[in-house]
Structure 1
Amino acid sequence: MKKTLSTLMMATAASMAGIAQAEMIATAVAYEIEGQAYEGMLVYDDSVKDKRPGLLMVPNWMGVTENAAKKAQRVAGSEYVVFVADMYGKDIRPQNAEEAGKAASAVRSDRTIMRKRVNAALDVFKAQAGEVALDVDHIAAIGFCFGGGTVLELARSGTQLQGVVSFHGNLDTPNLADAEQIRTPVLVLHGADDPYVPEEQVQAFKAEMRSADVDWQLNTYGGAVHSFTDPTANMPGKAEYNPVVAERAFAAMHSFLADSMAE
């Protein structure tokens, strides 16, 4: 698994940047939650020996995939160690939108399970400090689509982090009062024309954050719909890659994390 993913990551880096990054590593990490097998992915630049902050990454509804590995590589660079969380279990690897929707809905419908799994992945990530130069005192969480909603639930669970960043994620939650438990800065990167996150949900999220006096930011990008950071998204008007907005959103993430990690 390690060799296959490492090869993938090197090819991805070369294709994206035009420069081979031979030291980029992606290693499968097996773990268990209540006796069920899960498998996440640790992604980092092995040429950097100094401790780096960590990013727990929750991928979109397709779960732990090659595309998730590519996105983790982009995010990690030489600055971060990234752990891609498995929210479904090792034996659940969606092959299409129908399977992904079923798997994601099962988790979204039970926020207790969602929070338990994402917190367990965070614990597994911290335990990797013995394997890689990870600064466990400086860890943030990021998520995409389904993963964006998941990391917001991680924040609502009261977990202490350096920050949480949601890319085109859902903003709803069953219990708005849970925002009182948030102990981390929050950044939401949202497409203004996202049909899956209607304006009513955005306004409810704003009210939730204000009422709980959370340290929060919401960046809204005109002309962007769902999945704007995903190069494979090709549903015009619904879920569609927007390279310009994607670059702006990633720049906003890096600026936010630079501030939050400095604390």
Structure 2
Amino acid sequence: MTTITTRTVEYPADGLTMIGHLALPAGVDRRPAVLLGPEGMGLSDVERRRADALAELGYIALAFDLHGGRYLGDPEEMLARCLPLLADPDRMRGIGHAALDVLRTEPRTDPDRIAAVGYGTGGAVGLELGRGGVSLRAIGTVNATTTGRPGEAAHIRCPVWAGVGSEDPIMPPEQRNAFTAEMQAAGVDWRLTVYGGALHAFHHPPVGHPVVPGVGYHPRHAQRAWRDVVDLLAECLPVTEDLGA
């Protein structure tokens, strides 16, 4: 296994002091980088481990924060914060840009080779960065087939991959259809993977607190969705050139 290093990073966003998790592969050379966004509950060890796994693959990875260092295990508190956020593209972009600035400031990050991958609310943030015109190599989301303001998807200049559970009541078929229609009308290179029988947040291991209805873990599809994310990055943001392969 590749040796990696990790550190906590603090930065301001959305009127809060965010606490992100930065993971770096061994070496001193510049590498492609991934901005990793968490589910609406906020940054947890699940996303930290995913950032570490990306670093083991050779990427600089920043798992960013949504709630000022807090994890919102109370569903009502989570919805009270996330629903207004999801309805405000400019706030989402502000959170995304703040994290992106941290990632770009890391000396080993190649600023011209950055992708955004996110889950739920974190995925919506990544999509809004694209709609806002940020130059990214790829955008990947899981259960975040969110639509944006009319016409702004035309600013997305990279491939977009989205994964969603077929039985997800939070991102139901009509929402998926609206998302794909938006991407198609904007001329985006998009893909949608529907995981049969999966609920919302199917990728997230069970948590020890109440969750909103329609959430459920699906271990097999969780593994598949991770492989699909890695494949997206391998296609759009390869690390082989940095590794001398």
TM range (shorter): 0.7 to 0.9
- SS of 1:25's equivalent? strand
Matched AA of 2:75: A
Between the aligned partners of 2:16 and 2:171, the Cα distance in structure 1 is 32
| Pick aligned residue for 2:96 from 101, 118, 121 | 118
Work out whether residues 11 and 17 of structure 2, in 8 Å CA contact, stay in contact via their aligned partners in 1: yes
Where in structure 1 do 4 or more consecutive aligned residues deviate above 6 Å? 234-237
Is 1:38 the counterpart of 2:18 in the alignment? yes
Aligned to 2:30: 51
TM-score when scaled to structure 2? 0.86
Aligned to 1:167: 142
TM-score when scaled to structure 1? 0.81
Please give the per-residue CA displacement for 1:160-189, whole angstroms capped at 9, x wherever unaligned: 10100001224233x231111111211101
Q: For residue 37 of structure 1, report the CA deviation from its aligned partner.
A: 2.6
Aligned to 1:81: 60
Q: For the structure 1 residues 35 and 99, does the alpha-carbon distance in structure 2 shift closer, same or farther, using more than 3 Å as the test?
A: closer
Is 1:193 the counterpart of 2:167 in the alignment? yes
Between the aligned partners of 1:34 and 1:113, the Cα distance in structure 2 is 7
- SS of 1:120's equivalent? helix
Matched AA of 2:109: L
Is 1:135 the counterpart of 2:110 in the alignment? yes
Between the aligned partners of 1:221 and 1:37, the Cα distance in structure 2 is 36
- SS of 2:116's equivalent? strand
* Number of aligned residues: 237
Structure 1 gap ranges (5+): 1-20
Is 1:25 the counterpart of 2:1 in the alignment? no
Q: For residue 148 of structure 1, report the CA deviation from its aligned partner.
A: 1.5
Q: For residue 94 of structure 1, report the CA deviation from its aligned partner.
A: 2.3
Matched AA of 1:115: R
How many percent of aligned residue pairs carry the same amino acid? Answer: 32
Q: For the structure 1 residues 22 and 165, does the alpha-carbon distance in structure 2 shift closer, same or farther, using more than 3 Å as the test?
A: closer
| Pick aligned residue for 1:224 from 174, 198, 211 | 198
Is 1:152 the counterpart of 2:127 in the alignment? yes
Is 1:176 the counterpart of 2:155 in the alignment? no
Q: For residue 107 of structure 1, report the CA deviation from its aligned partner.
A: 1.6
Structure 2 gap ranges (5+): 240-245
Q: For residue 22 of structure 1, report the CA deviation from its aligned partner.
A: 8.9
Q: Cα RMSD (Å) of the superposition?
A: 2.5
Work out whether residues 54 and 81 of structure 1, in 8 Å CA contact, stay in contact via their aligned partners in 2: yes
Q: For residue 73 of structure 1, report the CA deviation from its aligned partner.
A: 2.2
